[in-house]
Amino acid sequence: MISDFIAGSVAGLAVAMPIGAVGSYLVGLGARERISVAAAAALGVASVDGGYAVIAVLGGAGLQLVLSEVSGWLEWIAASVLVVVSIRTVLVAVRRYRSNREALGRQRDLTPARAYLSLVALTAVNPATLMTFAAVAVGRSAGEGGSTLPVVVVFAIGAFAASAIWQLLLTGGGNLLSRLFTGRRGQLGVSACSALIMLGLAVGLLLW
């Protein structure tokens, strides 16, 4: 069971650690939102990673085959979501920059529940997440027999825990960044950089 937890943790880190669209968004979110909101968003990402770990272990090689057939559609969906999120990020940042009531805007713009659901949706349409877990699952099934329910649960818990720790570190880094750039222009710059990264990744998804 310990080996299954470690395998899940390694898989969770393998998916979480590359700083892609979700990671850059979390850093920006940590820089401009309350800690409770950013933490809820981080747990939303980890929840999807844990759920995808279960799906990947149960689906195995069959899941990889299905994903390879629909990967084109998934990439278009993911790119579209990234463009929408990046535009919204810039609009919110500009509105806050122009507002004279930043503190009030911070409290009303995003709640922990909305942050959690938003990041669940953003992570769920990322094809790389599920394909990475599916590749790990295929490798495990090649060396072992079938996966029992306890094995699947422990593997998923490991993936969730590792992903949650990493995502919380990203939001913490964003919060630290906001302390360095405390002015309205600094906040706007952090949000703009986050949005540009997401736009670049959206273009990359479609071109490569």
User: What residue segments make up the domains of the chain, in order of their start?
Assistant: 2-207
Q: What is the DSSP string of 13-74?
A: HHHHSS--HHHHHHHHHHHHS-HHHHHHHHHHHHHHHHHHHHHHHHHHHHHHHHHHHHHHHH
In this model, does residue 64 exceed pLDDT 70? Answer: no
The answer to whether the CB of 158 falls within 8 A of the CB of 8 is yes
Please give the DSSP secondary-structure letter assigned to residue 34. Answer: -
In this model, does residue 52 exceed pLDDT 90? Answer: no
Average pLDDT rounded to a whole number, residues 122-148? 64
Q: How many helices (H) and strands (E) does the chain have?
A: 8, 0
Residue 113 confidence (pLDDT): 92
Instruction: Point out the least confidently predicted range of 40-44, 86-90, 203-207.
Output: 203-207
The answer to whether the CB of 41 falls within 8 A of the CB of 26 is yes
Per residue in 8-28, pLDDT (tens digit) is 888 778 777 766 778 878 888
The maximal CA–CA distance of the chain, rounded, in angstroms, is: 62
The answer to whether the CB of 83 falls within 8 A of the CB of 202 is yes
pLDDT above 90 covers what percent of the chain?
11
Q: E strand or H helix at 154, and its extent?
A: helix 149-180
Q: What's the half-sphere exposure (Cβ side, CA atoms, 13 Å) at 157?
A: 11
The answer to whether the CB of 190 falls within 8 A of the CB of 44 is no
Average pLDDT rounded to a whole number, residues 128-147? 59
Nearest to 194 by CA among 202, 184, 206: 202
